[in-house]
Structure 1
Amino acid sequence: MKGLPSKMAAVVLTGHGGLDKLVYCEDFPVPDPTPGEVLIEVAACGLNNTDVWVRQGAYGTDENPDAVASWRRNASQETLTFPRVQGTDSVGTIVGTGSDVSAERLGERVMVDFSIYNDDGDSLADIDYIGHGRDGGFAEYLVVPDENAHVVDNDLTDAELATFCCAYLTGEHMLDRAQVQAGERVLITGASGGVGSGLIQLCRARGAIPYAITSKAKLEAIKALGAEAVGQVQQRLVVR
């Protein structure tokens, strides 16, 4: 696109295996947005367990748990091809738009919803994600569907925002599927992890009441996040 480089730095996954399968290069093509897409200059991209397990091929299959397989697990539904730029949890600025996307989006600071929705359902069998089925944010630029780029306007740094995407979206999907309503109580185990700590705040945002379980060292921190009460791991709890 006009005014933008044709090549970029990227970390490229070349196959399943160890860290040797990740190759840093400085001449990877900058993608062009097609209709319905935007080009983002990446400011930060988080690393989560899915990136690691996909690289390792650690998901197995129903027939063979030890088989080398990526997130989709079923070879007939595989969307991962190599080379692939991973990176799901991306934050950056829109610097290019597809032909049918408003140029008013240029300059927006955005967080990327990494999910690729293939239909209107919420089954994981029908969802792929950016960094797996298409290139992600371990690069200077990435292209995503226009609807996946959400404007953010706050004082958090780019690096801080890049810790939200996978954990908080996972937590929000959990609450949606459980149809959690205002006033209901929710018990959150592993509350100090990314998803758990996000769930505490997301419960409060919808008016639900979060109760949490965590380790002794993190009791006060989890209470400060908004948990109604916090129990310690392996502590006998009675809820009345």
Structure 2
Amino acid sequence: MPSLLVINPNTSASVTALLQHHVQAAAGPALSVHTLTARFGAPYISDEASYAVANHAVLDSWAVAQAQRLKPDAVLIGCFGDPGLFALRDGAGVPVSGLAEASFTAAAWHGRFAIVTGGDRWRPMLSRLANALGHGQTLAGIHTVAPTGAQLAADPVGARKLLAEACCQAADRFKAQAVILGGAGLAGMAADIAAQVPVPLVDSVTAGAQWALEALRNPGARNVSPAGFGVVWQNVSWELEALP
């Protein structure tokens, strides 16, 4: 059975558990899902500094997976922001994507899309990522709510009401053909509020699982670099130093 490694770039085990449950449920029996939690960094990524550290943590997690002799057929970065995406894709030797990239692709099938997520500081970060991934023209706008993803996850009842209103506002304000509900901590909430939103609502975690199924179903469509980073690492974890 093909296997998917999901790397949680923050240090919250509860987020990792959410990812494990929802990615496996969305992927079904066709895929074996294994998750890893970052060994260092922030409990929840919400600004440029924590995002910068998460880039390192993602590479470190990949190195840990290699040291544990895990041999995933694909890797999904379990953060709506995809820290470490370009670096890991450069040397993992298997298909790599993240929650943001996967959901951008899924939403773009409907036309121009809006993003709803928690944490005001994410707006410029996600705009930059969308441009880097070639979605600058299909991204209609970004609507952030004040609570962070961690705070929303801690109050799911209040979060659903707030997020349903935000998704409706985003669809109307940006004239979007689809809305992405972005955030690992918000996994599963889109299904609960989709009926209240006037356009298709994309769950970023479900989109990640669907990306993995498609990537493993169509090997010819993969854009995979050869395995190996070619870096002589110094003063990092022994697992990272051991990477070729």
Normalising by the residue count of structure 2, what TM-score does the alignment of the two structures yield?
A: 0.28
Normalising by the residue count of structure 1, what TM-score does the alignment of the two structures yield?
A: 0.28
Per chain length, whose mean CA-contact separation is higher, i.e. which structure has more relative contact order (CA < 8 Å, sep 6+)?
2
Larger Rg: 1
